Amino acid sequence: MTTAGHRGGHHPPPALVVEVGGPLACFTRPEYKSERLSYPVMTPSAARGVLEAIFWKPEFEYQITQIDVLSKIKWAAIRRNEVESMLTVDWVRKAMADTSVRYDVEDDRDQRNMVCLRDVDYRIHAQVRLRTHATEPIDKYRAMFRRRMDRGACFSQPFLGTREFSASYVRKLTDRPPIPHTEDLGVMLHSIEYGERGETYTWFLAELKDGVMHVPKEGRRLSSAEPASTRRDA
């Protein structure tokens, strides 16, 4: 992890830069609900999840600005077990209050196909944005992030789109250039916002140009956005 050159003045501070990779990754396209098909590139929301696994405080959020693809895009097909039901807070409360409540995964299991990526490596560029209730300067959080990177520490295991696909990061950045690949990626998930009515998705038109995907500061909401549902894996 390192930072790019400081521009000074009123320009934003240099970006935090992290290189991550793993043997498998799946950044699921939302238009495929029953079977999982990955985007060919890591999404900003997945990149944000990796950084938050390393270091996070409620006083700030990460703004992903750029993702570099460092390894050739390779595909793999996997058939795996999943469950149909969704875990809810009400069910957990009921199970905690009544020990006779049981869940039998064998009665709920289903097999689904997944088209995912293999042997992936990315370079994530991000800024730290303070929330309104933050009282400490932004440099403090940036320094804390750097120290955790130097130690190879993380709050939870980072993953690449789905928790089965663990991610690792390097303490010292490489000089690997982005791959020479350009592709229109279509509509991509930008971020998930959490409010009183549930989760709301924001989107942007993504393009990979010479191995680099630039991410706008804000995504756009869809008028038909509904609270998110999360499949529970077997």
| Pairing relationship of beta strands 198-208 and 36-37 according to DSSP bridges | unpaired
- Percentage of the chain exceeding pLDDT 90: 54
Q: Determine which of 52-56, 91-95, 170-174, 226-230 has the lowest per-residue pLDDT on average.
A: 226-230
Which residue has better confidence, 119 or 82?
119
Inside any domain, residue 135: yes
Inside any domain, residue 27: yes
pLDDT band at 5 (very low <50, low <70, confident <90, very high): very low
Max mean pLDDT range (24-33, 100-109, 212-221, 224-233): 212-221
Inside any domain, residue 67: yes
Phi/psi at 83 (5° precision): -115, 150
Inside any domain, residue 75: yes
Query: Structural domain tally of the chain?
Result: 1
CATH assignment of the domain containing 163: 3.30.70.2660
pTM: 0.80
Scanning 31-182, the segments in alpha helix (DSSP H) are 44-54, 89-97, 138-151
Residue pLDDT, tens place only, 167-176: 999 888 899 9
Which residue has better confidence, 210 or 80?
210
Q: Taking residues 188-199, report their average pLDDT.
A: 81
